[in-house]
Amino acid sequence: MARVAILVGAGFQDAEFTEPRDRLARTGHRVVVIGTAAGATVEGRHRKARAHVERPVSGARPDDFDALVIPGGGSPAVLRLDPAIVSFVRDFAHSGKLVAAICHGPELLAEAGVVRGRTVTSWPSVRAELEAAGAQWVDREVAVDGNLVTSRRPADLDAFCDLILKRLEPAPAQPGPQRAE
């Protein structure tokens, strides 16, 4: 199963963290919470969820994971001020591996400079920033462009999580060459 990093900071949108985390874990994927300081506990925006940071971004590399999930809320606005976080997001996006961001999460994608020429969606107030960074913004439940998966809001979490899980499914085995007898 896949190893998935979820990037959080204080003020994350509670359900946008807990629902992907729980669905990924229930289906056998290994979820690792990444943040600025290992051992820190950060609280969600609505104080309904807490996240324990298992690994600092300074000790994380895209090669250690198969996918990155970025919840929204107030967390991305804080995380984007940390050069190590921005570099991690940029390197992950350039790795070609799945990067999934919801709501305000795409702010980090814009900050990392990885949306130019890409089709994305987000919370409506992030639209202008994404367009200024060169993205084509669409008002859809989920937008997929290569390895980037973006979504608008908590109401879209089912579709967002379904798409992440589908993208993490192993490719079907290809039959080998047939030998003539």
Active site residues per annotation: 103
DSSP string, the chain: --EEEEE--TTB-HHHHHHHHHHHHHTTPEEEEEESSTT-EEE-TTSS-EEE--EEGGG--GGG-SEEEE--BTHHHHHTT-HHHHHHHHHHHHTTSEEEEETTTHHHHHHTT--TT-EE---GGGHHHHHHTT-EE---SEEEETTEEEE-SGGGHHHHHHHHHHHHSPPPPPPPPPPP-
Residue with tokens 């995380």: 79
Q: Parallel, antiparallel, or unpaired: how do β-strands 98-102 and 148-151 relate?
A: parallel
d(CA 10, CA 46): 11
N- to C-terminal Cα distance for the chain? 37
